Amino acid sequence: MESTGRVPSLPVPGEVLVVMYHYVRDSGRTGFPALKALAVDDFVAQLDWLASACTPIGLDRFEQAAASDALPAGAALLTFDDGFVDHAETVWPLLRARGWSGVFFVSGAAVADPPRLLNVHKTQFLLARLGADRFAAEVLSAAGRDLAAGLDRRAEVYRYDQAPDVAAKHLLNYELPADEATRVLSRLFARHIGDDTAFARSLYLSQDQIRAMAAGGMTFGFHTETHPVLSRLDAASQRREVERGVDLLRDLTGQRSVPFCYPYGHPHTYNADTLAALAAAGYSAAFTTTRRLARPESDPPFEIPRYDTRDIPRADA
């Protein structure tokens, strides 16, 4: 995964460059060489650039800045979505060596015992195993649907993807009923990869890893129970997706302030019901995928923007 360096300017005092990461691994050395991931050397090169150009801060300082102007020039906050084992084995040691903190977002189903493999990750690993053309064809066959309809948001949502996997992802996330998407993906995953529970145990952070990382200075937030597009759900279903995250992470980590990040994160993926559910559940902040610098004093606390790792330069670029 190559960095493109699209951040338009460095943050001035009062602004924060919030960066979003997912997989940090050398995919070519795994059983899924086609998986889209940030290579470890590229991650280190980004950390080097951040060290030279910015001042990394923790979530506590970010949230304090909402009530003051006490932010350094070039402030940066690093966030990591989906709670992958990469974050314990690769990311945490690299951050710890620099004396930095990060915010790690986990989903309830993924850290349960037994963990449940989320549909979004079944999709990603099936794409890596089958390739875009075969994956799209098999999704079409299993779902009995046409990919020609309902793709009005695909350019916005899947900015880094190509057809036909864009259309297949859109069908699974935005068009099929959730139960049907689960049925399709579970059948394909069992056929082409194997047992999804065993796979989930190897993919996600365990509760013990979360406790150890929290004790080592990392912060955790919630990423819903099952990673749906929240705006597709009614108000009651949205509440069920978010309501236990604060208590779960307080119990696991001892932290009092618990942030949230939206699955997929675009403005159309959440709504007024989502914002009300987050406030009722007691979250301190929520992060989107809107691409701009954050301004903690003026941004709505449940709509904090972030840049993707692919928008961040490397020190040697």
Reported as a single tens digit per residue, the pLDDT across 208-244 is 999 999 999 999 999 999 999 999 999 999 999 999 9
Residue 307, pLDDT score: 96
Q: Which residue has the higher pLDDT, 93 or 139?
A: 93
Predicted confidence band of residue 153 (pLDDT cuts 50, 70, 90): very low
Residue 145, pLDDT score: 65
Superfamily of domain covering 16-114+204-311: Glycoside hydrolase/deacetylase (3.20.20.370)
Predicted confidence band of residue 165 (pLDDT cuts 50, 70, 90): low
Predicted confidence band of residue 67 (pLDDT cuts 50, 70, 90): low
Q: Averaged over 169-188, what is the pLDDT?
A: 88
Over the chain, what is the mean pLDDT?
90
Identity at 113, one-letter amino acid code: D
Q: Averaged over 13-36, what is the pLDDT?
A: 96
Say yes or no to pLDDT of 151 above 50. no
Q: Averaged over 113-139, what is the pLDDT?
A: 94
Q: Averaged over 145-161, what is the pLDDT?
A: 50
Residue 157, pLDDT score: 53
Residue 9, pLDDT score: 84
Considering only 34-48, 65-79, 125-139, 261-275, which range has the smallest mean pLDDT?
A: 65-79
Considering only 45-54, 66-75, 271-280, which range has the smallest mean pLDDT?
A: 66-75
Say yes or no to pLDDT of 294 above 60. yes
Q: Give percent of the chain with pLDDT exceeding 70.
A: 90
Predicted confidence band of residue 317 (pLDDT cuts 50, 70, 90): low
Predicted confidence band of residue 102 (pLDDT cuts 50, 70, 90): very high
Q: Which residue has the higher pLDDT, 65 or 302?
A: 302
What's the pTM value of the predicted model, to 2 decimals?
A: 0.92
